[in-house]
């Protein structure tokens, strides 16, 4: 192990368990980085009463903590999130007597703010990964959040971001010197997300073998754009009556989306599969003919890399880092967000296409965590040794 005598502290807004998919991309990264460290400590503060099933746990040389803090969904408490994250992290550090050589915080707010206070207290290098909303949305809410995010960016020894669009905001609008920013995209687990026989996985999932399956995976929230996929389906089913749209995920919009499906007389064309464990998602992807992510905004969605990893063609929107990855029609097709007509057209084109799934998988391999982690370790080396 390159950092065999070093300990790494991760601060993250979320961290998954087997039942809660909170920022699974952070765990994917940690699972690869842990191979190079003596110990990795993950602290993911959570509000009291929120996801009560979350419990501290350990695996291999990783220890995960979910310290609780009081919170209410009003602006006064939202503004205190950074300080509450710091206090919650400090309780764990003191109680467990944690010692660490490097802090890596995911998201500028609130984890990055907590990481900045920890850096000042312990005089230890701090790396921030700025993912998406914490770059293009949080700093521009008002002066309060802008000052907080600028404090984080000024205190970080280095900033990693996952897309070129994020990088431009960081350097051009938020003033981070270019030499202190690295563009390192998200990745995926290449052992978990790999091609599998379609007939076998459809049988396992009890999906019809004769239908053309269009899959989307994501939380049922407005930013994921499910409404536009449903509206696109109106045209698709007229030309391809054999299609089945499968929506994997849960969230507050489920009833509204189901009502929209019913109002458009599309009930027989949609299957709401609900939330599924992360290790089951490769089955759903391998069962599909096309993957669609109709998001209104994104950082660099992990689910895109996972779909490509199983050799599945990807249809997405020109947001965040998506057009930086889907650089050829050999891997997928893109259209503007909030455009159901274009989405329908691209789905129909994709269903007619003979995709080279082996070529898609080969392209995706550069984004496997084992390759992405080497770039992250390169950043670490600058500040640990």
pLDDT in tens, 100-110: 999 999 999 99
Same domain, 111 and 157: yes
pLDDT in tens, 291-304: 999 999 998 899 99
20 pLDDT more than 80:
no
Q: Are residues 164 and 221 in the same domain?
A: no
Using the predicted structure, report yes or no on whether residue 385 has a pLDDT greater than 70.
Answer: no
Averaged over 48-63, what is the pLDDT? 90
Distance set, CA 169 to CA 181, 258, 333, 365, 370 (Å): 11, 37, 25, 28, 28
Residue 90's CB is within 10 A of a number of other CB atoms, namely 16
| pLDDT score for 384 | 81
59 close to 25: Cβ distance less than 8 angstroms: no
Residue 160 inside a domain? The answer is: yes
Is 193 a domain residue?
Answer: no
Residue 315 backbone phi and psi in degrees, to 5: -110, 125
Range of the domain at 173: 3-187+368-384
Question: Residue 1 — pLDDT band, cuts 50, 70, 90?
Answer: low
Cis geometry, peptide bond prior to residue 110 (ω within 30 degrees of 0): yes
Smallest CA-to-CA distance from 116 within 96, 89, 92 is with 89
Residue 244 has pLDDT above 80, yes or no: yes
Apex 42 CA angle, 41 and 44, nearest 5: 150
The rounded Cα 276 to chain-centroid distance in angstroms is 16
Count of structural domains within the chain: 2
What pTM was estimated for this model as a whole?
0.91
115 or 2, higher pLDDT? 115
Same domain, 21 and 80: yes
Q: Is residue 222 part of a domain?
A: yes
Across the chain, what does the average pLDDT equal?
95
pLDDT band at 273; cut points 50, 70, 90? very high
339 part of a folded domain: yes
CATH number at residue 51: 3.40.50.2000
285 and 205 both lie in a single domain: yes
- Residues 242 and 309 both lie in one domain: yes
- pLDDT for residue 103: 98
Which pLDDT does position 73 carry in this prediction? 83
- Mark 141-164 as b/e (b = at least 16 C-beta within 10 Å): eeeebeebbebbbebbbbbbbbbe
353 and 378 together in one domain: no
Residues 207, 117 share a domain: no
If asked whether residues 64 and 175 sit together in one domain, one would say: yes
Residue 51 has pLDDT above 90, yes or no: no
Report yes or no on 192 lying in a domain.
Answer: no
Positive/negative CA dihedral, 330, 357, 276, 68 = negative
């Amino acid at each position: 192990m390159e950092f065999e005598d070093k300990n790494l502290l991760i601060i993250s807004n979320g961290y998954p368990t087997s039942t809660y998919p909170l920022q699974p991309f952070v765990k994917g990264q940690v699972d690869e980085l842990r191979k190079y460290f003596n110990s990795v400590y993950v602290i993911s503060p959570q509000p009291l009463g929120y996801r009560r099933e979350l419990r501290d746990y350990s695996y291999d040389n990783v220890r995960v903590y979910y310290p609780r803090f009081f919170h209410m969904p009003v602006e006064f408490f939202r503004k205190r999130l950074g300080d509450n994250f710091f206090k919650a992290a400090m309780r764990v550090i003191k109680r467990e007597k944690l010692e660490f050589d490097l802090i890596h915080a995911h998201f500028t707010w609130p984890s990055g703010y907590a990481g900045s206070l920890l850096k000042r207290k312990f005089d230890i290098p701090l790396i921030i990964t700025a993912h998406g909303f914490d770059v293009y949305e949080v700093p521009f809410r008002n002066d309060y959040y802008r000052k907080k995010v600028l404090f984080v960016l000024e205190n970080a020894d280095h900033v990693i971001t996952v897309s070129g669009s994020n990088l431009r905001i960081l350097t051009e609008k938020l003033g981070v010197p270019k030499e202190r920013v690295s563009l390192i995209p998200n990745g995926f687990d290449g052992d978990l997300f790999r091609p599998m026989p379609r007939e076998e996985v459809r049988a396992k999932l009890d999906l019809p073998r004769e239908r053309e399956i269009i899959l989307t995976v994501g939380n049922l929230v407005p930013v994921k754009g499910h409404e536009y996929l449903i509206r696109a389906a109106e045209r698709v089913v007229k030309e391809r009556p054999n299609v089945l749209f499968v929506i994997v995920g849960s969230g507050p919009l489920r009833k509204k989306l189901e009502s929209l499906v019913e109002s458009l007389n599309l009930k027989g064309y949609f299957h709401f599969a609900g939330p599924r464990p992360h290790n089951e998602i490769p089955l759903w992807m391998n069962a599909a003919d096309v993957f669609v992510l109709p998001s209104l905004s994104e950082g660099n969605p992990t689910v895109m890399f996972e779909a490509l990893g199983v050799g599945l063609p990807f249809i997405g929107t020109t947001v965040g880092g998506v057009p930086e990855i889907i650089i050829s029609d050999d891997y997928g097709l893109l259209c503007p967000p909030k455009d159901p007509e274009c989405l329908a057209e691209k789905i129909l084109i994709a269903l007619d296409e003979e995709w080279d799934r082996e070529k898609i998988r080969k392209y995706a391999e550069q984004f496997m965590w084992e390759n992405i982690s080497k770039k992250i370790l390169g950043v670490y080396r600058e500040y640990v040794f």
